[in-house]
Structure 1
Amino acid sequence: MNKLHTLMFTVGLLAGASAHAQLKIEIAGVGSNQIPIAVAAFADESMAPAQVSAIIKADLERSGVFKVIDAGAMSENDPVSYSQWKARGADALVVGSVQKLADGRFEVRYKLHDTVKTAQLSAMNQAAQPKYTRLSAHKIADDIYEKLTGTRGAFATRVAYVSENRGARDYRLEIADADGEAVQVAVRSNEPIISPSWSPDGSKVAYVSFEQRKPVIYVQNLVTGGRKVVVNEKGSNSAPSWSPDGTKLTVALSKDGHTQVYSVNADGGNVRRLSNSNGIDTEPQYSADGQTIYFTSDRSGGPQIYKMSSSGGNATRVTFNGSYNISPRVSSDGKTLAWVSQRDGGYSLYAMNLASGQELRLADGATEPSFSPNGKYIMYATKTGGRTSLAVVSVDGRVKQRLTTQAGNIREPNWGPFQK
Structure 2
Amino acid sequence: MFDVEKIRKDFPILSRKVNGKPLVYFDNAATSQTPQQVIDVIVDYYHNYNANIHRGVHTLSQEATDLYEQSRQKIQKHFNAKFSHEIIFTSGTTHGINLVANGFSSILKKGDDIIVSALEHHSNIVPWQMLCERTGANLKVIPMNDEGELVMSAYDRLLSKNTKLVFVNHISNALGTINPIEYIIEKAHDSGAAILIDGAQACPHIKPDLQGLDVDFYVASAHKMCGPTGVGMLYGKEAWLKKLPPYQGGGEMIAEVTFEKTTYADLPHKFEAGTPNIAGGIVFGAAIDYMNSIGFDTIAKYENELLQYASQKLLAIEGLKIYGTAKNKTSVISFNLEGIHPYDVGSILDKLGIAVRTGHHCAQPIMDYYKIPGTIRASFAFYNTKAEIDTLVEGVKKAKMMLS
Q: TM-score range by the shorter chain?
A: under 0.3
TM-score (norm 2): 0.26
Bigger relative CO (Cα 8 Å, ≥ 6 apart): 2
TM-score (norm 1): 0.25
